[in-house]
Structure 1
């Protein structure tokens, strides 16, 4: 269960997005730490949204029907994100020569944090992820639920370490083709998780009828 959530976290973080673009911009100019600190800031924002989502669903966990409906909606969100990643793969064009305006670690931390929470549907996104991956038998309390889902954040950070490490090595490992491959692969995995959680939720709802 924990391993699956770690993989889900890596998959969610891998597609190219605002945080990843900022990591690439800073990492190619200033190395590993400048890139990774942006992801750490993003992880703080993700954690805040995850905590709010977990306790926001605390009452709904008492109703299996509502939780499975939320899980089905969450699965649809994952499938949507996966398809979106697949479709935008051909349009990715990163400017690797763009210079980072600042080398401040605090600036990088705040940039990652603000970008991760700036999306007005951020909390709804994490509610969807929580509901889609929710398994009643796996949780004995909301504290345990939060701990289990924190593995998603760990996956996000692990991807941050890998991407930052590649950026430290240098530009020769980076190209638009490489980034497109990562985004495409992550899109497939998101569709896989969405279908898996969707089938599980649909089966549970069917059994309740």
Structure 2
């Protein structure tokens, strides 16, 4: 079981490494407001990950695989990402707290940003397609230990990635001035808008 746990920590870490919407938002908040705000964005994303693991555990993943549901998720995800990206570009120079200053943005707000970014079809479909078979194959109604070990290992791997990323970002933040942080926030917003355009494209393809 210990070997299974560590193997899935590596799996979770490797899955979290590619740059996605959550990573972009974490980086933006980490640069503007420090380690805790960036990490809390990651915790918001992990909340959705945990919810999806529970859905898979109870056999509800098939509901999210229904074409009509996926079409709705593409649209909802596109709108969320467009809104967050627009706000990031619009307020790129706002809410920047330098070293020693108290952040003006609340941790609760950063957490909900993570939730919104994580509720995207890319994230949901990813969990269903990649982790669905792994977790379902490990599920045994008479012995749920393997399932829980795999799920816990994946989440710990993601958590290690988030802490490592925010440690790096918070160190970088100390040597950047507000202008660089502002443009980093604007760039992050444009990347999120780019993701939203892709989601709108997928929504369009799913309805024609």
Q: Is the pair's TM-score, using the shorter chain for normalization, greater than 0.5?
A: yes
Instruction: Name 1:7's counterpart in structure 2.
Output: 18
Give the Cα–Cα distance (whole angstroms) in 2 for the partners of residues 126 and 94 of structure 1: 26
| Match of residue 24, structure 1, among 19, 32, 36 | 32
Instruction: Name 1:28's counterpart in structure 2.
Output: none
Q: Is the 8 A contact 2:26 2:39 kept in 1?
A: no
Residues 1:163 and 1:74: Cα distance change in structure 2 (over 3 Å): farther
Q: Is the 8 A contact 1:11 1:186 kept in 2?
A: yes
**Does 2:186 align with 1:180?**
yes
Give the Cα–Cα distance (whole angstroms) in 1 for the partners of residues 161 and 201 of structure 2: 19
Q: Is the 8 A contact 1:50 1:126 kept in 2?
A: no
Instruction: Name 2:79's counterpart in structure 1.
Output: 80
Alignment length (residue pairs)? 178
Give the Cα–Cα distance (whole angstroms) in 1 for the partners of residues 125 and 59 of structure 2: 16
Give the Cα–Cα distance (whole angstroms) in 2 for the partners of residues 55 and 181 of structure 1: 34
Give the Cα–Cα distance (whole angstroms) in 2 for the partners of residues 199 and 145 of structure 1: 33
TM-score normalised according to structure 2 size: 0.55
| Match of residue 124, structure 2, among 128, 131, 136 | 131
Residues 1:170 and 1:118: Cα distance change in structure 2 (over 3 Å): closer
Give the Cα–Cα distance (whole angstroms) in 2 for the partners of residues 73 and 16 of structure 1: 26
Q: Is the 8 A contact 1:75 1:198 kept in 2?
A: yes
Q: Deviations over 1:60-87 (max 9, x none)?
A: 12x3x65234444333333223333454
TM-score normalised according to structure 1 size: 0.55
- Structure 1 unmatched ranges of 5 or more: 26-34, 103-107, 204-209
Give the Cα–Cα distance (whole angstroms) in 2 for the partners of residues 149 and 126 of structure 1: 17
Give the Cα–Cα distance (whole angstroms) in 2 for the partners of residues 115 and 153 of structure 1: 20
Residues 1:155 and 1:138: Cα distance change in structure 2 (over 3 Å): same
Q: Is the 8 A contact 1:86 1:183 kept in 2?
A: yes
Q: Is the 8 A contact 1:6 1:153 kept in 2?
A: no
CA RMSD of aligned residues (A): 4.7
Instruction: Name 1:67's counterpart in structure 2.
Output: 65
- Structure 2 unmatched ranges of 5 or more: 1-10, 139-146
